[in-house]
C-alpha cells in the first residue's frame, strides 16, 4: 500500500476508533426510527477487518456491535471508508461481499440462531458527482419480474464532498477531518487548514488531544505536495501552541525509518494509481469468478491479467453472475482480451 493510501487508512482508524467520533457520526446520520432503538453507549468494537488484502489501498473498515434498548438483540454497523479519487459503481457489490463475510464469520462462532442485522455506512470523499448506486443498478435486469431474484439492500452514504457539514452537530475532530477532505482540491484549501487548526485550538486550548494533532499533521505531510509544506507549516505554527508542525513531523517520521521520497511518489501518482486500479479490477474479477466456479485454471488467471481495459474488466465483473458455466465465462474473457 502506498504512503498516501496508508495515510488515509491511518487517519480514518485514528478518528473512528475513538468512541466519541463513531457515536457522533451515528447520532447525526442514522435515521431517527433506528437511532431511538439503539443503546449507543453500549457500542462494542469488533477486532476483525473484512477488506481483502488487494483492496486495502482503496478501502478501510470498522465493525461495531450495538445492542437494542428494548430487547436482548443487537445490530452491527459496518463503517466502510472509500479513499478513492473517483466514485466506484461496483461499491454495492463490494458491500454485499463484506456483509456475507461478516455473517459467515459470525456463523462460525454462533452455530445456531439468526444472523445479526448489518447496517452498512459508507464514508467517501471521491471527487465529482456521486450517484448512490444499488445492486439493482449494477446488475443487468431483463425486466421488473426479475427483480424479485436480486439480493438488493440499502446502505447509508456520507459523502464529505456533497454534504453540508454545518447542518450536523459534529465532534471537532470529525469535522476537522471532513473539512480537509471536502476542500482538498479547492483553491481555498490553505484557508480551510487555518480554519481547522483555529477550530481545534478553540476546542482544545492546551492543544490536546496531541495524538490526533500529530495524526492530522502526518496526514497532511503524506497527502499534500512538498511545495505546499512551507505554507501548511506556517499555518500550523501560527494556529497551534502544541509544538507540532510539519518539520517536527518530518523529523519524527525519519526517526521511524520513513523515506522522504514524497516528491517522486507525488509525480508518479497518476501512473501508479491507474496501475493499482487496473490490478484491483483484475483481482476482483478473479475473486468473483472463483466464488462462482471454484479455483480458476492458471491460463484463465493470466488471460484476465492481460486485460488492460478497466471498462472491459468491470463489464466482465457484472456478467459473472449471468454466465451459466466456466466455459461461457472463459469465452467472454477471451473476447475481452483480444
pLDDT of residue 234: 83
Q: At what angle do helices 210-223 and 172-182 cross, to 10 degrees?
A: 10
Q: Which of 205, 226, 260 is the last residue of a domain?
A: 260
Cell 497527502 -> residue: 223
Going by DSSP bridges, is the β-strand pair 117-124/74-82 parallel, antiparallel, or unpaired? parallel
pLDDT of residue 268: 43
- Any domain includes 50: yes
- Any domain includes 301: yes
Cell numbers found for residue 78: 459496518
- Any domain includes 183: no
Which residues sit opposite 59 in a β-bridge?
A: 82
Mean pLDDT by 10 residues, the chain (338 residues): 71 88 93 94 84 71 91 91 74 90 90 92 79 85 90 90 92 94 91 91 71 81 80 81 55 47 43 64 84 85 87 85 86 88
pLDDT of residue 267: 45
**304 phi, psi to nearest 5 deg:** -60, -40
Which residues sit opposite 122 in a β-bridge?
A: 80, 157
pLDDT of residue 227: 78
* Residues 6 or more apart in contact with residue 81 via CB below 8 angstroms: 8, 9, 12, 16, 59, 60, 61, 122, 123, 124
Distance separating alpha carbons of residues 230 and 227, to the nearest angstrom: 7
Distance separating alpha carbons of residues 57 and 47, to the nearest angstrom: 19
Going by DSSP bridges, is the β-strand pair 117-124/156-159 parallel, antiparallel, or unpaired? parallel
Q: Which of 240, 260, 280 is the last residue of a domain?
A: 260
- Compute CA distances 292 → 12, 287, 319, 321, whole Å: 33, 9, 11, 7
pLDDT of residue 104: 92
Same structural domain for residues 98 and 242? no
Distance separating alpha carbons of residues 127 and 124, to the nearest angstrom: 9
- Any domain includes 160: yes
Tell me the three state secondary structure of residue 277.
helix
The neighbour count for residue 259, using CB atoms within 10 Å, is 10
0.75 surpassed by pTM: no
- Any domain includes 181: no
Domain count, the chain: 3
Same structural domain for residues 252 and 309? no
* Owning domain of residue 150: 3-176
- Compute CA distances 215 → 188, 239, 246, 253, whole Å: 22, 16, 11, 11
Same structural domain for residues 22 and 136? yes
Same structural domain for residues 134 and 279? no
How far is CA 104 from its chain centroid? Answer: 21
Same structural domain for residues 56 and 149? yes
Q: For the chain, where are the alpha helices, taking DSSP H only?
A: 3-16, 19-29, 32-35, 91-109, 135-138, 172-182, 189-203, 210-223, 229-239, 246-255, 262-293, 298-305, 310-319, 326-337
- Any domain includes 42: yes
Same structural domain for residues 239 and 92? no
Same structural domain for residues 57 and 102? yes
pLDDT of residue 256: 47
Tell me the three state secondary structure of residue 72.
coil
Same structural domain for residues 77 and 109? yes
Same structural domain for residues 15 and 79? yes
Same structural domain for residues 27 and 157? yes
Same structural domain for residues 92 and 137? yes
Same structural domain for residues 245 and 273? no
Amino acid at each position: 500500500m502506498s504512503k498516501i493510501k496508508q495515510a488515509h487508512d491511518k487517519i480514518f482508524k485514528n478518528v473512528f476508533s475513538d468512541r466519541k467520533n463513531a457515536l457522533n457520526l451515528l447520532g447525526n446520520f442514522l435515521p431517527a426510527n433506528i437511532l431511538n432503538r439503539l443503546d449507543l453507549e453500549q457500542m462494542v468494537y469488533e477486532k476483525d477487518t473484512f477488506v481483502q488484502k488487494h483492496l486495502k489501498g482503496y478501502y478501510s473498515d470498522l465493525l461495531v456491535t450495538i445492542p437494542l434498548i428494548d430487547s436482548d438483540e443487537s445490530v452491527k454497523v459496518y463503517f466502510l471508508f472509500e479513499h478513492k479519487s473517483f466514485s466506484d459503481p461496483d461499491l454495492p457489490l463490494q458491500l454485499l461481499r463484506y456483509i456475507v463475510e461478516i455473517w459467515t464469520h459470525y456463523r462460525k462462532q454462533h452455530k445456531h440462531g439468526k444472523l445479526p442485522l448489518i447496517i452498512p455506512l459508507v464514508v467517501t470523499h471521491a471527487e465529482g458527482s456521486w450517484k448512490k448506486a444499488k445492486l439493482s443498478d449494477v446488475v443487468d435486469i431483463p425486466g421488473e419480474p426479475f427483480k424479485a431474484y436480486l439480493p438488493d439492500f440499502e446502505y447509508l452514504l456520507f459523502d464529505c464532498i456533497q454534504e453540508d457539514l454545518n447542518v450536523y452537530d459534529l465532534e471537532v475532530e470529525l469535522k476537522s477531518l471532513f473539512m480537509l477532505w471536502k476542500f482538498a482540491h479547492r483553491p481555498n484549501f490553505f484557508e480551510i487548514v487555518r480554519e481547522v487548526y483555529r477550530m481545534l485550538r478553540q476546542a482544545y486550548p492546551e492543544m490536546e488531544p496531541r495524538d490526533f494533532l500529530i495524526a492530522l499533521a502526518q496526514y497532511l505531510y503524506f497527502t499534500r505536495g512538498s511545495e505546499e509544506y512551507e505554507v501548511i507549516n506556517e499555518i500550523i505554527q501560527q494556529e497551534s501552541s502544541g509544538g507540532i508542525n510539519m518539520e517536527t513531523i518530518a523529523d519524527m517520521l525519519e526517526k521511524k525509518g520513513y523515506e522522504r521520497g514524497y516528491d517522486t511518489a507525488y509525480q508518479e501518482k497518476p501512473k501508479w494509481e491507474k496501475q493499482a486500479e487496473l490490478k484491483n479490477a483484475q483481482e476482483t474479477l478473479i475473486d468473483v469468478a472463483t466464488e462462482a466456479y471454484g479455483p480458476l485454471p492458471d491460463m484463465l488467471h493470466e488471460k484476465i491479467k492481460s486485460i488492460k481495459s478497466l471498462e472491459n474488466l468491470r463489464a466482465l465483473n457484472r456478467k459473472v453472475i449471468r454466465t451459466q458455466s466456466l466455459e461461457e465465462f472463459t469465452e467472454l474473457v477471451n473476447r475481452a482480451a483480444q
